[in-house]
Chains A and B, each alone.
Chain A
Amino acid sequence: MRRSLLLAMVLSAALALGSAGMAFAAEKPAKNQTLTFNLSVEPQTIDPNKSTGVPEAIVELNIFDGLTRLDKTDRPVPAIARSWKISKDGKEYTFHLRDAKWSNGDPVTAYDFEYSWKRALNPATAAEYAYYLYYLKNGEEYNTGKIKDANEVGVKAIDAKTLKVTLTAPTAYFLSLTAFPTYMPLNKKAVEAGGDTWYTKMDTLVTNGPFKIVRWSHQDKLEMVKNPNYWDARKVKLDKLVYTMVEAESTELTMFETGQIDLGHFPPRPELPRLREQKIVKFTPYLGTYFYEFNTSKAPFDNPKVRKAFAMAINRRQIVEKVTKAGEVPAMAWVPYGMPDAKAGTDFRKSGGEFFKDNDVATAKKLLAEAGYPDGKGLPPIEILYNTLEMHKAIAEAIQEMWKKNLGANVTITNQEWKVYLQNRTDGNFQVARAGWIGDYVHPMTFIDMMISNGGNNRSRWADKKYDDLVEVAKTTTNAAKQYKAMHDAEKILMDAMPILPIYFYTQPVLQKSYVKDVAISMLGFFDFSSAWIAQH
């Protein structure tokens, strides 16, 4: 704290000298280092083994520290692991741990990781994200009860400072996974003392991250302070971090504008143009694709030509500029921007390019005629299914209009409550359904492997053996060039068959006061406050 203060003072002095008379000077940290962020919902849990959602992760990533941590650009960097060695076949990782302490003073050891990972996989724990650990050898077998002995799972503490991990296949993004909540260490003593609700009691909530929770007022707010026992505590500048749980978007905005919160991430959409003009909102990249999904088992969408015709008859630019208005990017491909390619520093999307032209009505009409529906004659009525939300409705109405005008299709739109809509999609009771997919880790595979034949999340019922084979190659090879080529090829097959119709790549709108500095906002939707600070204002 003192060092950074001194540095900031020297810097600001230098700048003031150099830019005398100019409107700005380097900002000094404020006296009161308290940041209030609207998390917007009550976390369902903060047991890292059991959590699944982004809000929960935004809590856990700031109170726990895993083997790795994602930096500002979402690359994994050493955290509790000081260094690691990966075997030639890419299946064995040996992590060397640094000296770190839990908030209660216990040392953080390799045993804490082994305990936590096995706990997440234990069928009795019934963790939803247990399958995040299926990368470990025998992880799936243990979780599904095929083997009973937890010691056969591919994670072992050799000693207090060495963790050996064995995977079923080389996994290029494994070091990103180890930064994820499910992979956080747990203090066995505390967890066992507290039972199922260890994390709700302040005396058994033992953590090892930049902050520690001091008060959790349910559905109201969560108060954290800097954790003096954190191994990198010198880096942490905030003294206090408060998360509020205000769900109503317009209330969040009013609280932001009246100074009750400093940072929020759900501005009401109708207000976006104004907020943008006033430079109150900014849009950060978000690893997600908004798309429509065809039911490929029912006519007319069992015909790839019809699917492509419908995909090309949409004006995406108009949708992002006139309807959604949050700086989204029209998607003429499946995998969003922001993910690495084989060569360091390149972007998978940029090198993969776009697969078709936006708003290509001529080609769309031609394809539809080839499929036997010239000018839409003979097309059955089409129904778009979406979950009840104003924005989805607005998009569906725009698309309804475009399909009517461009293809002569008779389109209706239907909304359903969230869980009813999910159930109907899973059961195949739809023709075209609105959908979204948010990446779990920063690697194209998080999008590519969703569409494998019979994949649980592939509700389009599309299946292609060649696609599956390419995914398998990408998942098992240790050769990066080969791996990325396989994923590019797979995406080409997917866009050729068009079981899903990409519309746009998401962005994350953020309400941030100008004095809030260095919050790391991940493309995965996480907010990391370990380097954040408040400037004088």
Chain B
Amino acid sequence: MIFLLQYFAKRLVSIILVLWVVASATFLLMHAIPGGPFTTEKVLPEAVLKNIEVRYKLNDPLWQQYVDYMGNLLRWDLGPSFKYEGETVNNIINRSFPISAQLGLYAILLALLVGIPAGIISALKQNEWPDNLAMFGATIGFSVPSFIMASLLMFVFALKLRWLPAAMWGTPQQAVLPTLALASLPMAFFARLVRSSMLEVMNQDYIRTAKAKGLSGNTVIWRHAVKNAIMPVVTYLGPLTASIMTGSFVVERIFAIPGLGQHFVTSIYNRDYTAILGITVFYSILLVLFNFIVDIAYAFIDPRIKYVEEKE
């Protein structure tokens, strides 16, 4: 038990260190790129610019801004957005993350429910038609970029067939196309991943042993092979969940979904300093958190992995 606590403490320290490095590096890089939040096409008079800098404390020395920012970050106060008047970064995250997370969860569920069975079937029917079909689909899902997939889905199902609304968010119908667009890549990835690890596992000695002992084909596959073949999926699931739940710039932009994904890119275009930092840190937190959960999950699935030295 003590060892387990020690492990958690170690992980916690490294997580905090990672977050600090991410926040600091982002802060420095962001101030290093030319142009600021109030660099506008129609140049502002000196005095007006000064009033704005005072209001947003941009006239403080950089180290002071850094110290202030880190202080606020500890209290999870991400500051006002420079782009959207009277809006805070906390507000932006609070309102757009749930939308991205909801869409992301649909996509992950769809990818798992379709991708894993497709991979298993492919492996069991290697080089037969179900395998060829699944791998053909996976190659398409894998190689077609999401902006093309999204546009294609919209063209076929919204413009030509008129089955579904083209864009925007709110009704279940509106969720269908973006879910498909977002799920296509991880779905294809899962299918290929599960297929190859299944093939590998099926040739392992312990499977042969199990078969030799006279266990039925189904028991071997489900109790022994699949359980091990699924390991790479779990590894991949951590970073995938973090990235897919924070939204995709491309899919959210094309389907006009008011999620968090768009902000990753637009905040940089706008030099919306507080938004860049807040969103990056938020994403990092989710990323380290999900990786942590995955590490824990290993211990339950894979008997070879242990975080606590067993005593002799």
Contact = CB atoms under 8 A, between A and B. Distances in A.
B146 to A, nearest CB: 13
B45 A131 contact: yes
A126 B256 contact: no
B96 A44 contact: no
B256 A419 contact: no
Contacts of B170: 220
Nearest to A40: B256
A254 B34 contact: no
B44 A258 contact: no
A124 B56 CA distance: 11
Given A126-B54, A245-B256, A260 B165 contact: yes
Nearest to A145: B47
Contacts of A248: 167, 253-254, 256
B38 A219 contact: no
Contacts of A144: 47
Contacts of B95: 218
A200 B51 CA distance: 23
Contacts of B48: 126-128, 130-131, 143
Interface in A242-282: 244-248, 250-251, 254-255, 257-258, 260
A294 interface: no
Given A251-B254, A417-B269, A422-B39, A45 B85 contact: yes
B256 A257 contact: no
Interface stretch (B11-19, B154-162, B275-283): B154-162
B42 interface: yes
Interface in A496-514: none
B274 to A, nearest CB: 14
B159 A254 contact: yes
Interface string B210-240: 0000000000000000000000000000000
A251 B256 contact: yes
B255 A251 contact: yes
A145 B262 CA distance: 39
A44 B85 contact: yes
Contact of B167 (A124, A255, A424): A255
Interface residues of A, number: 51
A436 B256 CA distance: 28
Interface string B81-107: 001111100000001100000000000
B166 A255 contact: yes
A418 interface: yes
A413 B202 CA distance: 57
Interface in B45-64: 45, 47-48, 51-52, 54-56
B86 A246 contact: no
Interface string A137-155: 0001001110000000000
Given A126-B55, A220-B258, A42 B86 contact: no
B71 interface: no
B255 A47 contact: no
B56 to A, nearest CB: 8
A220 B44 contact: no
Given A220-B258, A248-B254, A258-B158, A419 B34 contact: yes
Contacts of A436: 41
A536 to B, nearest CB: 22
Given A45-B85, A251-B154, A258-B158, A218 B258 contact: yes
A372 interface: no
Q: Residue among A52, A144, A248, A418 with the most chain B CB within 10 A?
A: A248
A394 interface: no
A144 B269 CA distance: 29
A419 B51 CA distance: 21
Rank and list the top 8 A-B pairs by shortest CB-CB distance, nearest first.
A419-B35, A45-B85, A456-B43, A219-B258, A144-B47, A197-B86, A126-B55, A246-B256
Interface of B: 33-36, 38-45, 47-48, 51-52, 54-56, 83-87, 95-96, 151, 154-155, 158-159, 162, 165-170, 253-256, 258, 262, 269, 271
